């Protein structure tokens, strides 16, 4: 009998080691990893520079509390603010914690508590962030929730405008909804959200936990649109597997989080910061994100070429290396057979295949994954006809 809570539907597979976009299981089988630990190991497994940075820090000091000066935090914060609309950073340990911090900051700064989020959104599983999440399955059994979150349909400006008023503290949005089905926000919608936030004096929070740190081919996905959010949250790819989260905010909000208002024991500890510093140095380096955008286009066009006319596929969508293939039927049954052929992929909901390859994936690896995936989906389409 396992001594673990059974709160995950685990695959019958244990990873023993990894290198780049490949992992090897405990039986010695090799897989192409298009899951990246759900958008985390963006620089691939065992990245030499990230590993060296962590190893170097391991020999110096692991943890000191936030009562001390931590120069590495300054360095990581400077990289994050240089590449975003923010001016100051608060470090924590996960995406949910980054969103918790954003929710608390928005409430404290505005002295209001209504926050608008979107149907199908996902913001985490703490009490505040599951209340913020626009999916019933995440909330089920955990009521009563924080009642001041209002969910409106995504990409629907009329529905949003009906809820926006002077009592609203913030709008919290994913630029591409990840867990909710890889749904990209459309250009006009995203622009209008910002415009209306400005009109009513509402804070704009972008949840970049999954889309940030280069996943979509820009440092943060909101940068595909001409907007300047008040608060940005980040986690997942920031530590490439080392747990770390961050909330980045504009100057005007800084004074609302003075000493004693918010904090965490581990947030921003030297091990996390050494790792994040090495990750950001690589991701924000000249040319790296152009290459990601280029490979994202290549993946999307390869999938469209292979699966464009397939009756099982409704549409293929996404940004950069965050791609969803929306299908007409359930897709979880594809996962075991693809695993057997050496490809690890994800789903988002019942009918969307989700691909999150590492940002360092090669075009050859993309070709291999697309070939395996297209064969499997075409077989599924044929089977559905019989
Ligand atoms: N926000 C978004 C957009 C996410 O995709 C996730 C996790 O999938 C979270 C928040 C929660 O992050 P964590 O699991 O690190 O708490």
In angstroms, the CA 103 to CA 143 distance is 19
Whether 185 and 230 map to the same domain: the answer is yes
Whether 163 and 29 map to the same domain: the answer is no
How many angstroms is it from 375 CA to the middle of ligand 1? Answer: 31
CATH label of the domain that carries residue 184: 3.40.640.10
Q: What is the DSSP letter of 82?
A: H
From residue 70, give the alpha-carbon distance in Å to each of 92, 171, 346, 365: 14, 32, 37, 39
Whether 177 and 166 map to the same domain: the answer is yes
Which among 341, 292, 316, 322 is positioned nearest to 38, based on CA atoms?
Answer: 322
- Residue 42 placed within a domain: no
Q: Give the pairing of strands 231-234 and 245-249.
A: antiparallel
Whether 55 and 87 map to the same domain: the answer is yes
In angstroms, the CA 97 to CA 94 distance is 5
Q: Which of 96, 129, 213, 241 should be mutated for ligand 1, with most atoms under 8 A from CB?
A: 96
Ligand 1 atom 13 nearest Cα: 95
In angstroms, the CA 169 to CA 110 distance is 6
Range of the domain at 367: 15-33+286-385
Q: What pLDDT does residue 374 have?
A: 97
From residue 54, give the alpha-carbon distance in Å to each of 57, 269, 372: 5, 12, 35
In angstroms, the CA 126 to CA 146 distance is 11
Q: Which of 35, 118, 206, 209 should be mutated for ligand 1, with most atoms under 8 A from CB?
A: 209
Which residue's structure tokens are 């360092």? Answer: 360
Question: Is the torsion defined by CA of 285, 289, 290, 294 positive or negative?
Answer: positive
Question: Is the torsion defined by CA of 232, 235, 239, 243 positive or negative?
Answer: positive
Q: How many CB atoms within 10 Å of residue 254?
A: 15
Whether 279 and 308 map to the same domain: the answer is no
Whether 274 and 163 map to the same domain: the answer is yes
Q: How many distinct structural domains can be found in the chain?
A: 2
Q: Which residues are within 8 A (CB) of 23 and not within 5 positions of it... i.e. 6 or more apart?
A: 15, 17, 30, 31, 33, 45, 344
Ligand 1 atom 12 nearest Cα: 95
Whether 239 and 321 map to the same domain: the answer is no
Phi first, then psi, for residue 114 (nearest 5°) are -75, 125
In angstroms, the CA 159 to CA 89 distance is 32
Ligand 1 atom 14 nearest Cα: 95
- 261 has which bridge partners? none
Whether 59 and 26 map to the same domain: the answer is no
How many angstroms is it from 143 CA to the middle of ligand 1? Answer: 20
How many angstroms is it from 314 CA to the middle of ligand 1? Answer: 26
Could you report the per-residue pLDDT of 51-85, keeping only the tens digit for each? Answer: 999 999 999 999 999 999 999 999 999 999 999 99
Whether 235 and 369 map to the same domain: the answer is no
Closest ligand 1 atom to 236 CA = 15
Q: What is the DSSP letter of 251?
A: G
- Residue 52 placed within a domain: yes
Q: What pLDDT does residue 300 have?
A: 98
- Residue 261 placed within a domain: yes
- 17 has which bridge partners? 24
Name the stretches of the chain with pLDDT < 50: none
For residue 183 the two structure tokens come to: 């749904």
Which among 185, 226, 201, 229 is positioned nearest to 110, based on CA atoms?
Answer: 201
Which among 207, 21, 227 is positioned nearest to 124, based on CA atoms?
Answer: 207
- Contact indicator for 381, 71 with CB cutoff of 8 Å: no
Whether 81 and 147 map to the same domain: the answer is yes
- Residue 9 placed within a domain: no
How many angstroms is it from 56 CA to the middle of ligand 1? Answer: 29
Q: Is the CB of 210 under 6 A from ligand 1?
A: yes
How many angstroms is it from 191 CA to the middle of ligand 1? Answer: 24
Which among 153, 209, 147, 149 is positioned nearest to 176, based on CA atoms?
Answer: 209
Helix (H/G/I), strand (E/B), else coil: 322: strand
Q: What pLDDT does residue 385 have?
A: 77
How many angstroms is it from 383 CA to the middle of ligand 1? Answer: 35
């Amino acid at each position: 009998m396992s001594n673990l809570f059974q709160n995950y539907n685990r695959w019958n597979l244990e990873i023993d080691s990894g290198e780049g976009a490949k992992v090897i299981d405990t039986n010695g089988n090799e897989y192409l990893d298009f899951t990246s630990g759900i958008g985390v190991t963006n620089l691939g497994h065992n990245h030499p520079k990230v590993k060296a940075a962590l190893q170097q820090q391991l020999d110096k000091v692991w943890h000191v509390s936030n009562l001390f000066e931590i120069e590495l935090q300054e360095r990581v914060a400077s990289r994050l603010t240089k590449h975003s609309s923010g001016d100051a950073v608060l470090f924590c340990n996960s995406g949910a914690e980054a969103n918790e911090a954003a929710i608390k900051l928005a409430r404290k700064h505005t002295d209001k508590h209504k926050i608008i989020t979107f149907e199908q959104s996902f913001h985490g599983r703490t009490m505040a962030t599951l209340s913020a999440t626009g999916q019933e399955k995440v909330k089920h059994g955990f009521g009563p929730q924080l009642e001041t979150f209002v969910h409106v349909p995504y990409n629907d400006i009329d529905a949003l405008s009906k809820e926006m008023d002077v009592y609203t503290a913030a709008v919290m949005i994913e630029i591409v909804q990840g867990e909710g089905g890889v749904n990209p926000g459309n250009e006009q919608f995203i622009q209008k959200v910002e415009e209306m936030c400005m009109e009513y004096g509402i804070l704009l929070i972008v949840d970049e936990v999954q889309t940030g740190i280069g996943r979509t081919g820009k440092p943060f996905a909101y940068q595909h649109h001409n907007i300047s959010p008040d608060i940005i949250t980040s986690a997942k790819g920031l530590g490439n597997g080392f747990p770390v989260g961050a909330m980045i905010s504009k100057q005007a909000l800084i004074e609302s989080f003075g000493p004693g208002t918010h904090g965490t024991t581990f947030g921003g500890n030297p091990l996390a910061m050494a790792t994040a510093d090495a990750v950001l140095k690589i991701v924000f380096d000249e040319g790296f994100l152009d290459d990601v955008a280029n490979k994202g286009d290549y993946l999307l066009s390869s999938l469209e070429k292979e699966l464009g006319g397939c009756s099982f596929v409704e549409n293929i969508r996404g940004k950069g290396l965050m791609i969803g293939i929306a299908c007409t039927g359930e897709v979880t049954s594809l996962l075991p057979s693809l695993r057997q052929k050496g490809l690890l992929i994800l789903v988002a909901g019942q009918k969307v295949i989700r691909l999150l390859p590492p940002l360092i994936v090669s075009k050859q690896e993309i070709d291999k994954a697309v070939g395996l995936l297209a064969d499997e989906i075409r077989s599924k389409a044929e089977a559905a006809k019989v």
